[in-house]
A and B are shown apart, each in its own frame.
Chain A
């Protein structure tokens, strides 16, 4: 049952992704000012959405781990941080590629770009902490606090285009509070891209959490082997 659900989930993800690609390259019209390069926006925004959702899950997992002490929440936080890091990297790269023809530069110290880079570095630190330490309950608690504090940057990124002077476009809802996408096909393409990347996030989280469970199981087995070997030596 679980296996067929997993296969179905993967099929749905691939189907959604193929539909999104078709819409981006063959269906959605060009934006009037930016032209062809605006099409980067659909996957760029989708990557940002799943990165923020993943980092919010790190905070939620961390809070529940500190509260209930169950390993499953720590696994969720760790898996979400790794997946979020992948999508946050994609946000920075695709944003940079879009910026070159539109702004004439690969990078500028704009408020949204800078706060996103800070988020990337914070979770880079989180992953380094987890990768370089022994998986003890103390490190898990420390990582949970780190993950919760770092997630505070997510709302800052979201409101940054309204809080500070910035050149980053506020496309979905403009600074004037109006709808930024001029054609309904653009909205549909964005929604399908968001659905495809959300499905991808769920797939990666499931896979990564299964791996963390397997790693725990291996650790228990190794402990039991050590005990059995000690019993043999006595």
Chain B
């Protein structure tokens, strides 16, 4: 079992870095999707307001 700590260290670093990258990607993706959903909702509200405005102006 000579040099076993080196072998263990190498493989541990590989898996820790890969796992951290996967977590980083997933969390960034989730944040991005939330921002897209919020922006879509905001745009839909704005579009509704813009579409309603001429009618409001005409009725007043």
- Indicate whether A and B interact: yes
Report the Cα distance A44→B9, complex, angstroms.
13
Given A44-B10, A207-B25: A217 and B46 interface contact (C-beta under 8 Å): no
Known: A37-B2, A97-B10. 9 other contacts (CB 8 A): A47-B14, A93-B13, A98-B6, A207-B25, A211-B25, A217-B36, A221-B39, A228-B46, A232-B49
Q: Which residues of B contact A181 (CB under 8 A)?
A: none
Contacts of A49 in B (CB 8 A): none
Contacts of A93 in B (CB 8 A): 10, 13, 17
Task: Please report the C-alpha to C-alpha distance between residue A156 and residue B40 in the assembled complex, in whole angstroms.
Answer: 48
B31-60 at interface with A (beta carbon < 8 Å):
32-33, 35-36, 39-40, 42-43, 46-47, 49-50, 53
CB of A107 closer than 8 Å to a CB of B: no
Contacts of A232 on B, CB cut-off 8 Å? 46, 49-50, 53
> With A89-B17, A94-B14, A221-B43 given, is the CB distance from A40 to B36 under 8 Å?
no
Expressed in whole angstroms, the Cα–Cα distance for A133 and B10 within the complex equals: 35
- Residues of A whose CB lies within 8 Å of any CB of B are 21, 24, 35-37, 39-40, 43-44, 47, 86, 89-90, 93-94, 97-98, 100-101, 200, 204, 207-208, 210-211, 214-215, 217-218, 221-222, 224-225, 228-229, 231-232
B39: contacting residue among A37, A86, A208, A222, CB under 8 A = A222
Interface of A (DSSP majority class): helix
Inter-chain CA distance A35–B53, complex, in Å, is: 78
CB-CB under 8 A from B13, the residues of chain A are 90, 93-94, 97
Residues of A within 8 A of B4 (CB): 36
CB of B40 within 8 A of CB of A37, answer no
User: Given A89-B17, A101-B3, A218-B39: A43 and B10 within 8 A (CB)?
Assistant: yes
Q: Are B46 and A37 in contact (CB under 8 A)?
A: no
Q: A36-B4, A39-B7, A224-B43 given as contacts; is B50 within 8 A of A211 (CB)? A: no
**CB within 8 Å for A37 and B28 given contacts A86-B21, A214-B36:** no
Cβ–Cβ contact B1 & A36, under 8 A: yes
Q: Please, how many angstroms separate the alpha-carbon atoms of A153 and B4 in the complex?
A: 33
